[in-house]
Amino acid sequence: MYFKRKELEKFRSFKGPLIDVRSPGEYYKGHMPNSINIPLFDNDERSIIGTIYIKEGRQKAVIEGLKFFEKKMELLLDKLFMSIDSYKTITKKNDNELFIRIYCSRGGMRSQSIAWLLEKFKLNLVTLNGGYKMYRRWVLDSFSKKLNIVVIGGKTGTGKTRLLSLLEKNKYQTIDLEGFACHRGSTFGGLGMKDQPSNEKFENMIAEKLNSFKCSNNIFVEAESANIGKCKIPNEFFNQMKNSRRIEILRSESNRLDELIDTYSVFKKEELQESVLRIKKRLGPQRTKIALESINSEKWDLVCKSVLDYYDKCYEYEKVGKTNIKILDLTDKKYDESILELINNFL
């Protein structure tokens, strides 16, 4: 693994466009950051070649692949040169300074075929031995390192995300798991967010962020359940979170209600009502009725109160077994640089 890690580091150290030649379906599932998808085969073609490989062997599959390649060679070249020209325009680099970085699934025929094609134009090229699969091994391996995690906990509405953003702004090492997952982790969590990434892409983003850190320094994350919407926090990373130091934020109920009103009152009534209905069995008929009616009449304090008790009970259950907790009372305090000293005193 050490040798392969060095190989990946060397590949990434070259300056130039990063080209992913796998199929669109493979790319959508997960890819290296800042890579451009210029597929050698589309999803259907890849499926056809794979079927031939299984039924008739490698030679027949290669021949079929070459037929597809021949038909689209000119189009591929156009896309490749467009990506190279775009990179040169942005970076102001010339051909001698650039290395076209190419990878496929295993560093096999697809990346080598594109490299062969571009070599005819005297370009500097480098392919990734082991391909995306090797990159994924590096990603998963990064979660096993010993990390100095500090978890920021607190009930719904205590402004944990706001505090994490403040730490990020002031150059602390932070990982915004909810930002990466495009979800706030509750039934209302998807409101106003982009579509969630695939779980593989979610893991890639966390690993890349960790790679930019000094592992010996504090890494701040927000307390989360194992799943954030449809994204699952990597097991090794989540286990470290569970056993890490934890700062528990306290805020008054009025503080928390203000935070929730600011966050959710901007959304459409229909979206909020749909979110309430998703948890109606757990809220119970009375609280559900109050929440729905309050949304309709824009009585946001009643809306938030009707669900706050439910989330508080969920949160107390989530905290079971946590022993390394320090309480930080931020009642009525502004989330600005003045509270950073309070955080530092807890570390």
Q: What is the pLDDT of residue 146?
A: 93
CA distances 42 to 38, 78, 198, 308, Å, are: 10, 16, 19, 48
Which domains does the chain show, CATH number per domain? 2-140 (3.40.250.10), 143-345 (3.40.50)
Q: Read off φ and ψ for residue 93, nearest 5 degrees.
A: -100, 155
Four-residue CA torsion sign, 173, 179, 181, 185: positive
Query: What are 83-96's pLDDT values in tens digits?
Result: 999 999 898 888 78
Ordered DSSP codes for 266-310: TS-HHHHHHHHHHTHHHH-HHHHHHHHHHHHTT-HHHHHHHHHHH
How are beta strands 173-175 and 219-222 bridged, if at all?
A: parallel
Q: What is the pLDDT of residue 37?
A: 97
> Measured between alpha carbons, how far is 300 from 293 in angstroms, rounded to an integer?
10
Q: What is the pLDDT of residue 5?
A: 67
**Which structure tokens are listed for 205?**
């983003």
| Contact status, residue 15 vs residue 99, Cβ threshold 8 Å | yes
Mean residue pLDDT across the chain: 88
Query: What are 333-345's pLDDT values in tens digits?
Result: 888 888 888 888 8
> Measured between alpha carbons, how far is 142 from 140 in angstroms, rounded to an integer?
5
* Residue type, position 231, single letter: C
Specify the pTM.
0.88
Query: What are 192-230's pLDDT values in tens digits?
Result: 778 899 999 999 999 999 999 998 899 999 999 899 989
Q: What is the pLDDT of residue 276?
A: 83
Indicate the range of 16-25, 90-99, 129-138, 182-191 predicted with least confidence: 182-191
Query: What are 21-38's pLDDT values in tens digits?
Result: 999 999 999 999 999 999
Edge-to-edge order in the sheet of strand 173-175: 173-175, 219-222, 149-154, 245-250, 325-329
State the DSSP H helix or E strand holding residue 315, giving kind and residue range, or none if neither.
helix 300-318
Q: What is the pLDDT of residue 299?
A: 86
> Measured between alpha carbons, how far is 218 from 225 in angstroms, rounded to an integer?
21
Share of the chain above pLDDT 90, in %: 49
| Contact status, residue 249 vs residue 163, Cβ threshold 8 Å | yes
With cut-offs at 50, 70 and 90, classify the pLDDT of residue 323. low
> Measured between alpha carbons, how far is 159 from 334 in angstroms, rounded to an integer?
10
Q: What is the pLDDT of residue 1?
A: 43
With cut-offs at 50, 70 and 90, classify the pLDDT of residue 316. low
* Residue type, position 117, single letter: L
**Which structure tokens are listed for 3?**
């040798």
